[in-house]
Amino acid sequence: MSAPAMGGHWVTWMIVLVLLIGLYTLIAHDNLIKKIMGLNIFQSAVVLLYVSMGTVTGGTPPVLLEPTAGVTEPVLYSNPVPHVLMLTAIVVGVAITALALAIVVRIQGAYGTIEEDEIGAIEMRHDEAQSRA
């Protein structure tokens, strides 16, 4: 499939694909670690989208040039703002992943498993035992 066949937005289409892979992983898997991975892929797609928004065709990285570099004509550079926003978003993503993993460690300690369906079954048995008592 060539780029023009996708309306020239092939980068965006690829990002949508990554986004959907993340969302699917998040929904389809019972394993809590895989769910976290899905969430990370989903967030990465958003990071990619922002970074691609800031790109200017033919632009250089947004770095301030030394006056001694001998550049006199104006330089076309990419928009740095989305990049900076994504630095913050990545930090947020790392914090969320860390917290999620910490909770999974405690879930493993409390239930002995990190499969969502098995945890559900344990709780169901627990409820039945309680209502009999």
Partner 1 sequence: MSEHLPILQVVLPLLAAPLCVLLRQGGLVRWFASAVAWVTFAIAVVLLRATLGGAELSYAIGDWAPPIGIEYRVNLPSAFVAAVVAAIAAVVLTFDSRGSATRLAMRRRYLFYAAYLLCLAGLLGMAISGDAFNVFVFLEISSLATYSLVSIGKERRALMSAFSYLIMGTLGGTFFLLGVGMLYVQTGTLNMADLAQRLDAVSGTRTVSLGFALIVIGLSIKLAVFPLHQWLPNAYTYAPPKAAAFLAGTATKVSYWVLVRFVFLVFGASYAFDQMRLDLLLMPLSLLAMFVGALAAAYQRDLRRLLAYSSISQVGYMTLGFSFANREGLTAGLVHMLNHGLAKSALFLAVACIAYRAGTTDISALRGIGRRMPFTSLAFVIGGMSLVGVPGTAGFITKWHLVLAAFDRGLPAVGFAVLLSSLLAVAYVWRLVETAYFSSGDDGGRAGGGSPGGEPRAAVLEAPLGMLLPMTVLMAATVVFGLWTRYSAGIAGDAAAFLLGVAP
Residues that bind partner 1 (CB under 8 A): 26, 32, 35, 39, 42-43, 46, 49-50, 53, 82, 85, 88-89, 92, 95-96, 99-100, 103-104, 106-107, 110-111, 116, 119, 123
Neighbours of 32 (CB within 10 A): 19
Q: Which is nearer to partner 1, 75 or 90 (CB)?
A: 90
Name the minimum Å distance from CB 60 to partner 1: 20
Q: Please answer whether residues 18 and 40 qualify as being in contact, where contact means their C-beta atoms are separated by less than 8 angstroms.
A: no
Q: What is the DSSP string of 84-108?
A: HHHHHHHHHHHHHHHHHHHHHHHHH
Q: Which is nearer to partner 1, 14 or 107 (CB)?
A: 107
Q: Which is nearer to partner 1, 75 or 99 (CB)?
A: 99
Name the minimum Å distance from CB 46 to partner 1: 6
Name the minimum Å distance from CB 9 to partner 1: 12
Burial 4-27 (b: 16+ CB within 10 A, else e): eeeeeeebeeebeebbeebeebbe
- Report d(CA 22, CA 35) in Å as an integer: 9
Name the minimum Å distance from CB 75 to partner 1: 19
Tokens for 55, please give them.
Answer: 């790109």
